[in-house]
Amino acid sequence: MAAPSTSKFRSSPIRAGAVSRTGRGVLLALVALGAAGNASADDLSISIQSRSLRQGEAILVSVTAPAQITGITINVFGSVWAALRANDTTWRALIGIDLDQKPGAYTLVAASAAPHALQATREIVVAARQFRQRVLKVAPGYVNPPPDLLARIRSEAEFMSEVYKHSSLEPQWQQGLIRPVNEPANSSFGTRSVFNGEPRSPHAGTDFLSGAGTPIRAPAGGQVVAARELYFTGNTVIIDHGLGVFSMLAHLSRIDVQEGQTIDSGALVGLVGATGRVTGPHLHWALRTGPARVDPLSALALFQGKR
């Protein structure tokens, strides 16, 4: 790999379909791995940008295509993402490596259907990520809920599953994401949590060390698809940013938006609180792209300088 440049990202040109392997040394640096621009005007070419290629990372995929192409899809990690048209010949998709994705080599396929069926491939090598463990003490009912609450918890899980199945075809994240609060984030994403001595699911979001009552802003525009109190996440807002990208903002003390409402980037959605399964006031921001649970900080890094 070429020596680091003075910019925040590094680049290495390759032809569409060529193999690019990412070494361990790139894991702590922002990288940009680009497909060559010298492909035929009748071909597709692929470039990707990511903070690293580890579990839980967001990836911005750009596909160069003939101007007459009317749609591009990205297929990788067993899922399909739709791409947005950025200009006459460039399409982009924000995809993700799920925090539980098995390390190894995967083939990313970019394909068009009309008016020409074209295809390009790119290998992505996912590196393992070391997640820390945290031991927390919470109210017993948040570890082993009483039987009379199980029906509610199942209903809320079904609601959440349904919310993530439907996304607008008009993305609002293409200009980048912003921090929902100004306070620093800790390294909680992907942490293996032990509540009251019992292991539970990995922490699929990033916690921000904000005090109670801190205003929370929408990371990007979109439609509010959930604005309600849920058992585990307390007062919760979920925003559909389009093309499969969702933000969950949890544990709020107050919700200031309504389900079905369309909001702009930076809009006030509520205040930081300590509702649900928490040990104190903070903001939990979880980001999904398609089925992948990704670290919101990795998505913020992709768009630094664009806002």
| Reported pTM | 0.80
Dihedral sign for Cα atoms in the order 272, 273, 278, 279: positive
Res 44 pLDDT > 90: yes
C-beta of residue 260 within 8 angstroms of C-beta of residue 224? yes
CATH of 13-126, one of 2.60.40.1930, 3.30.1330.30, 1.10.1740.10, 3.30.565.10: 2.60.40.1930
User: How far is residue 105's CA from residue 146's CA, in Å, rounded to a whole number?
Assistant: 43
For position 12, what pLDDT does the model report?
30
Per CATH, 13-126 and 133-302 having the same topology is answered no
Q: Where are the domains of the chain?
A: 13-126, 133-302
Q: How far is CA 57 from the centre of its chain?
A: 7
Say which residue the tokens 């199942």 belong to.
154
Q: Identify the pLDDT of residue 135.
A: 55
Percent of the chain with pLDDT over 90: 61
- Say if residue 151's pLDDT is above 60: yes
Q: Are strands 133-136 and 192-195 parallel, antiparallel or unpaired?
A: parallel
Average pLDDT, the chain: 81
Residues 273, 266 contacting (CB under 8 angstroms): no
Q: What single DSSP character describes residue 147? A: G
Q: What residue type is assigned to position 126 of the chain?
A: V
For the chain, counts of helices (H) and of strands (E): 2, 22
CA terminus-to-terminus distance, the chain: 30
The two tokens of residue 285 are 């921001």
Q: What is the pLDDT of residues 161-173, one digit of tens each?
A: 999 999 999 999 9
Mean pLDDT of 66-74: 94
How many CB atoms lie under 10 A from the CB of residue 41? 9
Please say if the pLDDT value at position 18 is more than 60. Answer: no
Report the DSSP beta bridge partners of residue 125: 105
Pairing assessment for the beta strands 13-14 and 31-35 based on DSSP bridges: parallel
- From the candidate CATH numbers 1.10.10.10, 3.40.50.2300, 3.30.460.80, 2.70.70.10, the one assigned to the domain spanning 133-302: 2.70.70.10
Q: Do residues 101 and 77 touch, judged by C-beta distance below 8 A?
A: yes
CA distance 247 to 220: 9
